[in-house]
């Protein structure tokens, strides 16, 4: 039996080593790295809401819109007037054309809107006149009126200023000036 013992150990010893090796933990495969995050998508910040226009119990208490009236005269044609900001942007145009006075107000849109004028007369009379304005040229609304429209007299004789309002645009508080009155007078004379 002695001879069987060494054979048994020679067979059993490698089997025991293999069994132990099978029980040993295998190294886990390296984890695959997560995919890189997608590049950030830049979304523009939303435009800030426009500051609400201040309201006044009486429009005459509101500060005048910054700017001045300018008279434009071409030889042989009635005068035209523009109200420009200190930076030179045209806010209002009054032009005599084809026996009409076109009152244009800077602003963009696609639909006809009411253009409202408020005046205050020396006798205390307050008037509100609305005319339909249509979008013309880029960034302008226009109301075209006959030169004999009484609105022009009310604007000319308003106590120092008048308002021009178009829904969705800031109200303009404009001074009554001779440059405008000249447009009204010359357009009436040319008609």
How far, in Å, CA of 78 to CA of 152, rounded? 16
pLDDT digits (tens, 9 = 90+) for 73-114: 888 788 899 999 999 999 999 999 888 999 999 998 889 999
pLDDT at 51: 61
> What percent of the chain clears pLDDT 70, i.e. is strictly above it?
77
Question: pLDDT tens for residues 34-80?
Answer: 777 777 766 666 666 656 666 777 777 788 899 999 998 888 788 89
Top pLDDT among 163 and 12 is at: 163
pTM exceeding 0.75: no
Residue 115, pLDDT > 90, answer yes
Which of 64, 33, 31 lies closest to 160, judged by CA?
64
Give the DSSP H/E element, type plus range, for residue 121: none
Q: What is the pLDDT of residue 16?
A: 63
**What count of residues does the chain have?**
191
Beta bridge partners of 143: 103
Q: Given pLDDT bands bounded at 50, 70 and 90, which one contains residue 9?
A: low
Across-strand partners of 141?
105, 135
Mean confidence (pLDDT) of the chain: 82
In this prediction, residues 127-153 reach a mean pLDDT of: 90
Residue closest to 90 by CA, chosen among 147, 137, 133: 137
- Percent helix, strand, coil in the chain, to 5, is 25, 30, 45
Instruction: Please tell me the predicted confidence (pLDDT) of residue 166.
Output: 93
Sign of CA dihedral 129, 132, 136, 139: positive
- Measured CA to CA, the distance from residue 23 to residue 114 in angstroms comes to 90
**Torsion angles phi and psi, residue 2, rounded to 5:** -65, -30
Q: Which of 79, 131, 76 lies closest to 104 in space, CA to CA?
A: 131
């Amino acid at each position: 039996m002695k001879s069987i013992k060494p054979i048994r150990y020679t067979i059993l010893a490698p089997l025991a080593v293999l069994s132990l090796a099978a029980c040993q933990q295998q190294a886990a495969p390296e984890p695959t790295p997560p995919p890189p995050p997608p590049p950030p998508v830049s979304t523009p910040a939303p435009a800030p809401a426009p500051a609400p226009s201040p309201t006044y119990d009486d429009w005459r208490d509101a500060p005048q819109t910054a700017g001045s009236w300018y008279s434009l005269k071409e030889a042989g044609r009635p005068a035209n007037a523009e109200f420009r900001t200190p930076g030179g942007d045209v806010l209002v145009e009054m032009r005599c054309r084809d026996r009409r006075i076109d009152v244009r107000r800077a602003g963009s849109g696609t639909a006809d809107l009411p253009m409202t004028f408020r005046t205050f007369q020396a006798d205390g009379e307050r008037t509100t006149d609305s005319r339909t304005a249509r979008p013309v040229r880029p960034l302008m609304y226009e109301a075209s009126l006959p030169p004999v429209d009484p609105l022009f007299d009310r604007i000319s004789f308003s106590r120092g200023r008048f308002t021009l309002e178009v829904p969705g645009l800031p109200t303009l508080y404009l001074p009554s000036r001779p440059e405008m009155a000249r447009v009204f007078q010359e357009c009436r004379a040319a008609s």
